[in-house]
Amino acid sequence: MISINSYLFVTVLLFCLGLYNVITRSNAVGILMGVELILNAASLNMVAFAHFNGNLVGGGIFALFLIVLAAAEAAVALAIVVSIYRQFGTIDVEEATNLKG
């Protein structure tokens, strides 16, 4: 029987990878992928807890919502990335400094 700790270990790993990605990348698409990883780590966490608490439906629904949310987020974020590219000719976030005071 796989214990919950194994799941949690995976989710933590996933989360840390995503976070690392977000913090270190300057490529907007790379950051976006990091964010997807964090969201997925959360989804996995939800499902894992639901499974071990015997309440599959609550956690599943949460996971489902997260997937939809991630899709919507990816759509919007990619649109922004495209328009950033149009504006600056690059998708490096370090270059998009128009709002800097």
Partner 1 sequence: MAEKLFSLIYLVPLLPLLGAFVNGAYAFSGAKLVRPFVHTIALAAIFIPFLITVGAFLHVTSLPEESRQVVVTFFPWLDVGSFKANVEFLIDPLSLTLMLVITGIGSLIHLYSVGYMSHEPSYARYFTYLNLFCFAMLILVMGSNVPMMFIGWEGVGLCSYLLIGFWFTDSAKAAAGMKAFVVNRVGDFAFIVGFLLLYWTLQSKGHATVQFVELRNAVTHLDGVMLGSFSLVTIVCVLMFIGATGKSAQIPLYVWLPDAMAGPTPVSALIHAATMVTAGVYMIGRMSYLFSMSPAALNIIATVGFVTALFAAIIGFTQNDIKKVLAYSTVSQLGYMFGAMGVAAYTAGVFHLLTHAFFKACLFLGSGSVIHAMSGEQDIQKMGALRKHLPITHATFFLSTLAIAGIFPFSGFFSKDEILWHAFNHSKLLWLIGVTAAAGTAVYMLRMVTLTFYGESRVSEEAMHHLHESPLSMTIPLMVLAFLAVFGGFLGVPESLGHFFGLHESNLLEHWLEPSLVFPKEALPMASHATEYFLMVFSLGIAISGCLIGFVLYTKRKDIPESLAQKYPKVYEFIYNKYYVDEFYKAVFVNNLLRLNDFLALFDQKVIDGIVNGTAYVTKIVAYVSGWVDRTFVDGLVNLTASVTSFGGIIARRFQTGRIQTYLYLALGAILVIVFYRFG
> Interface with partner 1 includes 19 (CB under 8 A)?
yes
Using CB under 8 A, which residues numbered 30 to 59 contact partner 1? none
Q: Which of 1, 23, 86, 89 binds partner 1 (CB under 8 A)?
A: 23
* Closest distance of CB 61 from partner 1, Å: 28
Q: Which is nearer to partner 1, 20 or 52 (CB)?
A: 20
DSSP H or E stretch at residue 18: helix 4-24
- Residue 23: C-alpha distances to residues 9, 20, 30, 35, 49 (Å): 21, 5, 10, 10, 28
Q: Which is nearer to partner 1, 54 or 94 (CB)?
A: 94
Q: Which of 8, 10, 17, 22 binds partner 1 (CB under 8 A)?
A: 22
Residue tagged 């939800």 (tokens): 46
DSSP class per residue in 14-67: HHHHHHHHHHH--BHHHHHHHHHHHHHHHHHHHHHHHHHHT-HHHHHHHHHHHH
Query: Residues in contact with partner 1, total (CB under 8 A)?
Result: 10
Give residues in contact with partner 1 (CB under 8 A): 19, 22-24, 26, 93-94, 97, 100-101
